Amino acid sequence: MTIKNLMMEYDVILASASPRRKELMQLICPSFRVIPADCGEAVPEAMNAADVPAFLSYQKCKCIADVYQKAVVIGCDTVVTTADGEILGKPKDEEDAARMLRLLSGRMHTVDTGVSICYKGRTETFTETTKVWFKDLTDEEIEDYINTGEPMDKAGAYGIQGEGTLLVDKIEGDFFNVVGLPVSKLAIKLHDMLD
């Protein structure tokens, strides 16, 4: 059975407010509800950066699954980490976005998306990692990109699926993971869990 046909048999909830995740989720599941998880994003201080996305995706998934116990709930969290290990969330303002883009300029960084699937008391959590290399960016390129408004609601202050693609030299791994949802791996995990 195809993943789309399989998913039509379930009540599916995407626990994310991201319009990009919603769009990508439609590749797997033709019909689902969006119920953003509002359970905070506090992370234990000693947690390794690589573990943060899985931890947060599980928190979001569990928060919604506790209320909608018969649904298949999918929680996600994406983290951008510099080569020096600094986690970059969404920028607070344009100045913060410029700071982040300067950190990424001419260097490699990782994009880690944690995904958790909760269904009837069972949970499957995984993290997908993609390496991204930025071109050397001029101050003018950074300013022009910030003026598009695109960086302001995205981890790492860029969207690879939009004008942010002009900042990227190359990637290694899943493109959709950088957008916010590793579609292929999620489809495999859902199929394994539900079929």
Q: What is the CATH number of the domain that holds 91?
A: 3.90.950.10
**For residue 34, what pLDDT is reported?**
98
Known catalytic membership, residue 77: yes
**For residue 38, what pLDDT is reported?**
85
**For residue 45, what pLDDT is reported?**
83
**For residue 136, what pLDDT is reported?**
98
Q: Residue type for 92, please?
A: K
Residues 6+ apart with CB under 8 A from 107: 82, 83, 133, 134
For residue 169, the tally of other CB atoms under 10 A from its CB is 12
> pTM score, two decimals?
0.91
From residue 67, alpha-carbon distances to 41, 71, 73, 119, 120 in Å are 19, 9, 10, 12, 11
Average pLDDT over the chain, rounded to an integer = 95
Sites in the chain below the pLDDT cut of 50 = none
The number of folded domains in the chain is: 1
φ, ψ at 171 (rounded to 5°): -130, 155
**For residue 50, what pLDDT is reported?**
83
What does the pLDDT look like over 14-60, one tens digit per residue?
999 999 999 999 999 999 999 999 887 788 888 888 899 999 999 99
**For residue 82, what pLDDT is reported?**
96
- Residue 29 sits in which domain range? 3-194
**For residue 39, what pLDDT is reported?**
82
**For residue 134, what pLDDT is reported?**
98
**For residue 44, what pLDDT is reported?**
84
Pair of tokens at residue 2: 């195809």
* Active-site residue, from 11, 38, 51, 77: 77
- Long-range pairs, 10-14, Cβ under 8 A, ≥24: 10/71, 10/72, 10/119, 10/194, 11/68, 11/70, 11/71, 11/72, 12/71, 12/72, 12/73, 12/74, 13/64, 13/68, 13/71, 13/72, 13/73, 13/74, 14/74, 14/76
